[in-house]
Amino acid sequence: MANPVINIRDTGRNSARTLDVRDLADNVINSWTSVTTGTIAVTAAENYDVSFTQPADTIIRNVIAIPAGNIVTAGASGDDVDFSMGTAAGGAQLVAAKAILDDGGAAVTWTANAPLYLIQNSHGNAANAFLGTAVAAGVIGGPATSEAIVIAATLYSAAARTLHMRLTPLANDLATAATTVTYLIEFLHLGALPE
């Protein structure tokens, strides 16, 4: 006996009408930009600055940093690599300078091509959030120790604005040199994109 063919129309909460999906897609729009630092040398206290334009009526959703080569601190307490982000060149209006490589007396490594979500889902990170010790934690190749990244001001802007990010190796010279860091920045558009 052949199995009967039954057509069932699922109208439960896990269903979505095509028109609903299209309406949602029309109103949730993300865009990306990227910027890359100049070559990061070993010299301590040098600043490596980049800037980018945040589009009008957007919130910064993610900031991902990816080094082209290994970045390794010198191995003495205070030999950190700090990250900051602001509305002025060298400023820290959005994220105060925090160690994304926090050297407490042992060299800290950020492995080449290991992406760090410095800002994730419009939030900062807890201390040591980049340590990749488990499937659900950190990132393989992320620094073992880091300071908490706290968002200091709104990541939303009604008008287009230029923002600035900075990396600074502190105290002693880095143990590695001659690499760059690329930042990928994702924006969530709260209004319609311009035509």
pLDDT tens digits, one per residue of 91-146: 999 999 999 999 999 999 999 999 999 999 999 999 999 886 545 556 788 899 99
> pTM, whole model, 2 decimals?
0.81
Per DSSP (E only), the strands in the chain are: 29-36, 48-54, 58-67, 71-72, 81-86, 95-101, 109-110, 116-119, 156-157, 161-169, 181-189
Strand duo 95-101 + 29-36: pairing: unpaired
| Spans of the chain, pLDDT less than 70 | 1-28, 132-138, 192-195
Q: Which CATH number fits domain 31-189: 2.60.40, 2.60.120, 3.40.50, 3.30.70?
A: 2.60.120
Q: Which two tokens stand for residue 79?
A: 């030999």
Say if CB 110 and CB 70 are below 8 A apart: yes
The single residue listed with the structure tokens 């063919």 is 5
